[in-house]
């Protein structure tokens, strides 16, 4: 690389300063008449020329060195200049080359760390938003863009997330530098709950990142929390009702009905019924809790489903005869086994046949069918099984209105609470069926016609499917 020229004024200034001591010495000699004026002039010019010849290349080298250092500080990729003069004195070019290599290496390392950081931030499942001190969005990660839209940069936080709670917390953190956590809800486009953690960075450039907000969608967590609270409230209510009835009757027997044997008999019968209801309820609650506990360990046994059905139906013989309901079992030969847990599958059969008898009309028929099928109901997506066992129970009862169908498998959901209690239901039977089927990777489908009856169909994976 060619070296640039040095301005003449600079050269003259430097040569002038460098030759000043010689000028003083020569002048002293001339004043004391030990040097003629010609010799003085000749001597000084010789010193000038000599100094000039040394200083000019040195200055050119120094100028190139200075420019190179400026380029380095601005991260410009210029070549190290050929500093011949400096090289002969201190080998400065070699020192510069090494400095440049270390500098480049460190810059590359830093860029890699930054890129890694960006990838990590971008792939974080948590939503991340970075704001400047005027509460404009500066940076986001992919999760944030997926939830709140692609073009978030430079927008005000409140225009992207319209929540008063969040905004107040962000403003407060921005002012007092104390991090905060805030839970808030967005109603649009669907109701979602979020938990946000807001932190203030201590120092930032003007317009740079001042606030970091990380957020989690806690909608599901909230709804599970709510479901648990509802469940406990419902269960307590269900237990308290028969208990209150039993306590009331005990008081009556002790007091006003003390000597009325007929009434006492009647009351004792009601108390026995209520106690039975409590027993059933507690059994169902225990079943549900057991199913929940095992939910993540799929069953592995080979079960002869037809045998399970035949055995369960036998248990309903007496009730069916009392209600004059004719149970018809339609099972082809050679039905293959299913994967499952025998007791749980027995409970599915028990609850569905039990319901058909409970809610079916007197003098009617309950048709129980077992089939192998590849046709699943259209609203149901089952991933791994193409052939499944279909077990369906058809009753001739009053049927269920359409709007109730989707909610029948919720815990304690009843179409008509008074009527259900009257027939001895706990409101948990179908929730238990659904829980068991989920664990078995099976499904339930319900169809019904008001005034005609209902069909409850369950699909269970075959052992050899």
Point out which residues bind ligand ADP (CB under 6 A). Answer: 351, 355-356, 359, 395, 397, 400, 408, 413-416, 420, 425-431, 454
Token output for 291: 């199913």
For ligand ADP, the closer of residues 51 and 454 by Cβ is: 454
Min dist CB 465 to ligand ADP, Å, is 28
Least separation, in Å, of the C-beta of 354 and ligand ADP? 8
Q: Whose Cβ is closer to ligand ADP: residue 129's or residue 400's?
A: 400
Are residues 270 and 249 in contact, defined by beta-carbon separation less than 8 angstroms? yes
Q: How far is the CB of 327 from ligand ADP (least distance, A)?
A: 13
Smallest separation (angstroms) from ligand ADP to the CB of 284: 8
Q: How far is the CB of 211 from ligand ADP (least distance, A)?
A: 50
Both tokens of 454, joined, read 């209902």
Is the Cβ of residue 141 or residue 454 nearer to ligand ADP in the bound state?
A: 454
Enter the tokens of residue 298.
């799929």
**Least CB distance from residue 360 to ligand ADP, whole Å?**
7
Q: Shortest Cβ distance from residue 423 to ligand ADP (Å)?
A: 7
Give CA–CA dist 337/335, Å, rounded: 7
Using the minimum distance from each CB to ligand ADP, give the nearer residue, 182 or 430.
430
In the complex, the smallest distance separating the C-beta of residue 428 from ligand ADP, rounded to whole angstroms, is 6
**Shortest spacing between CB 429 and ligand ADP, in angstroms:** 3
Nearer to ligand ADP, 81 or 442 (CB): 442
Nearer to ligand ADP by Cβ, of 100 and 404: the residue is 404
Distance, in Å, from the CA atom of 348 to the CA atom of 299, rounded to the nearest integer, reads 15
* Closest residue to ligand ADP in the complex (CB): 425
Task: Tell me how far, at minimum, the Cβ of 245 lies from ligand ADP, in Å.
Answer: 18
Comparing CA positions, the residue from 365, 421, 370 lying closest to residue 397 is 365
Nearer to ligand ADP, 431 or 437 (CB): 431
- Tell me the C-alpha distance between 286 and 105, whole Å: 66
Place of tokens 């499944």: 388
Q: What residue has token string 């953190």?
A: 173
Length of the chain measured in residues: 465
Give 339 or 400: the residue with its C-beta nearer to ligand ADP: 400
Q: Closer CB to ligand ADP, residue 17 or residue 401?
A: 401
Q: Give dist(CA 459, CA 135) in Å, integer.
A: 54
By beta-carbon proximity to ligand ADP, the closer residue of 252 and 364 is 364
Residue 129, C-beta contacts closer than 8 angstroms, at least 6 positions apart: 137, 139, 140, 144, 152, 157, 160, 212, 213, 215
Q: What's the min distance (Å) between Cβ of 298 and ligand ADP?
A: 23
In this complex, which beta carbon is closest to ligand ADP, that of residue 258 or of residue 279?
Answer: 279
CA dihedral 191, 195, 201, 204 (to 10 degrees): -10
């Amino acid at each position: 690389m060619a070296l640039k020229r040095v301005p003449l004024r600079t050269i003259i200034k430097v040569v002038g300063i460098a030759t000043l001591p010689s000028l003083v010495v020569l002048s002293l000699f001339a004043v004391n008449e030990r040097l003629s004026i010609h010799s003085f002039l000749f001597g000084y010019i010789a010193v000038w020329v000599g100094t000039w010849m040394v200083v000019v290349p040195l200055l050119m080298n120094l100028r190139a060195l200075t420019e190179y250092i400026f380029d380095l500080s601005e991260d410009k990729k210029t070549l190290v200049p050929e500093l011949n003069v400096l090289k002969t004195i201190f080998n400065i070019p070699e020192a510069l080359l090494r400095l440049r290599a270390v500098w480049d290496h460190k810059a590359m390392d830093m860029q890699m760390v930054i890129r890694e950081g960006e990838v990590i931030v971008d792939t974080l499942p948590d939503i991340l938003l970075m704001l400047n001190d005027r509460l404009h969005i500066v940076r986001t990660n992919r999760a944030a863009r997926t939830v709140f839209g692609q073009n978030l940069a430079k927008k005000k936080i409140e225009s992207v997330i319209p929540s008063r709670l969040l905004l107040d917390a962000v403003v407060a953190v921005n002012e007092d530098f104390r991090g905060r956590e805030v839970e808030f809800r967005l109603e649009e486009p669907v109701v979602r709950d979020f938990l946000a953690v807001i932190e203030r960075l201590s120092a930032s450039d003007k317009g740079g990142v001042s606030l970091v907000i990380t957020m989690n969608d806690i909608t599901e967590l909230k709804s599970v929390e709510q479901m648990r609270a509802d469940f406990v409230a419902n269960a307590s209510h269900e237990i308290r009702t028969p208990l209150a009835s039993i306590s009331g009757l005990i008081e009556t027997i002790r007091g006003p009905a003390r000597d009325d044997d007929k009434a006492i008999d009647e009351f004792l019968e009601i108390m026995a019924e209520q106690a039975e209801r409590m027993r059933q309820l507690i059994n169902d609650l225990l079943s549900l809790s057991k199913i929940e506990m095992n939910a993540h360990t799929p069953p592995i046994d080979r079960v002869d489903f037809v045998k399970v059905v035949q055995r369960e139906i036998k248990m309903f013989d007496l009730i069916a005869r009392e209600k004059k309901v004719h149970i018809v079992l339609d099972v082809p030969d050679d039905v293959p086994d299913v994967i499952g847990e025998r007791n749980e599958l027995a409970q599915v059969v028990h609850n569905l046949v039990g319901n058909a008898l409970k809610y079916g009309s007197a003098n009617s028929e309950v048709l129980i069918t077992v089939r192998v099928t590849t046709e699943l109901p259209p609203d149901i997506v089952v991933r791994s099984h193409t052939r499944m066992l279909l077990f369906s129970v058809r009753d001739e009862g009053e049927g269920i209105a359409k709007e109730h169908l989707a909610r029948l498998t919720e815990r304690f959901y009843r179409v008509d609470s008074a009527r259900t209690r009257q027939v001895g239901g706990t409101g948990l039977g179908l929730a238990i069926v659904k829980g068991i089927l989920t664990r078995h990777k099976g499904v339930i489908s319900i169809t019904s016609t008001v005034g005609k009856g209902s069909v409850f169909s369950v699909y269970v994976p075959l052992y050899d499917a």
